[in-house]
Amino acid sequence: MSEYLVKLLAWSDEALQAIENSSHDERDLEDLKHQFIVFRKKLNENKKLNEQEIYEQALKLYNQFQAQFSVDDPDVVARQINNQSIVPIGEHRLPPLPYAYNALEPYIDEETMRLHHDKHHKSYVDGLNKAEIEMQKARRTNNFDLIKHWEREAAFNGAGHYLHTIFWHIMSPNGGGQPRGNLLQAINQSFGSFHQFKKHFSEAANKVEGGGWAILVWSPRARRLEILQAEKHQNLSQWDVIPLLVLDVWEHAYYLKYKNDRKKYIDNWWNIVNWSEVNKRFNEAQNVKWHPY
């Protein structure tokens, strides 16, 4: 079984667990649960499988799952979160891609996706786990001589892990175009128009010094959208905001295909933005509102 199919199998197990733990009416999820069981059985048969066909089935299931669990009611969201177990110290995992490695071509090539996800993202997960374990050890031994180092490692690798986890899901082979509904209204209100937002975001991404990110965030304090840069993963950002749309402009995200032409990579990236996922994140994030100052 290929590495991609192994990851799909793990993803289907997680989806089935989420369905089992859901507070939704069981009758509403019965068909979706059955489809995942059939899909999982097909993967486990270990026969020669057509990966493109499997990818299309997985994408269909992913979209159905997202539609079923994309809710705006904060009480429902809270119940779903509480039904999920916490991540123990030092046990973060690399999330599977929600599509095949070559699904974003011609905009992002398969080789880049494999290196980016399997090597670079994995290194951030490993680094975060190492830092958490070392800080736990410091607490147990009361030896904090290296705490400054491990806090830096946790900030760098943790931010890298969390931003990449968002990054994979805010892209889609069926992406592009413009957002709709509440998100588009908020973009127009915060930036004047979608065109002005896109231009601002692209310029911010292109002018990140060294490696880093452009990030669209919801500010619960200002109660509007903002665009931020982050150098590395954690520098020059803000606290008290929730990331919605992120663009990785480290060279490992584009160099194999675009060489040093970051601007062309950014221009093409807009063709794969998964606005439905960004909108889902926005609908949940805007429920968080602090007293404005």
In the sheet with 224-231, reading across from the earlier edge strand, the strands are 224-231, 212-219, 242-248
Name, in order, each residue with C-beta under 8 angstroms of 108's C-beta and a sequence gap of 6 or more.
Answer: 171, 254, 257, 269, 272
Query: Which stretches of 70-146 are DSSP H helices?
Result: 74-82, 110-114, 122-141
292 preceded by cis ω (within 30°)?
no
Quote the pLDDT of residue 31: 86
Count of C-beta atoms within a 10 Å radius of residue 54: 18
Q: Phi first, then psi: what are they for 248, rounded to 5°?
A: -80, 120
The Cα 121–Cα 112 span in angstroms is 12
Strand runs labelled E in the chain: 212-219, 224-231, 242-248
Return per-residue pLDDT of the chain as tens, 293 residues. 566 777 788 888 888 888 887 777 777 788 888 888 988 888 887 666 776 677 778 878 887 887 776 544 444 444 444 545 678 999 999 999 989 999 999 999 999 999 999 999 999 999 999 999 999 999 999 999 999 999 999 999 999 999 999 999 999 999 999 999 999 999 999 999 999 999 999 999 999 998 999 999 999 999 999 999 999 888 877 777 899 999 999 999 999 999 999 999 999 999 999 999 999 999 999 988 887 76
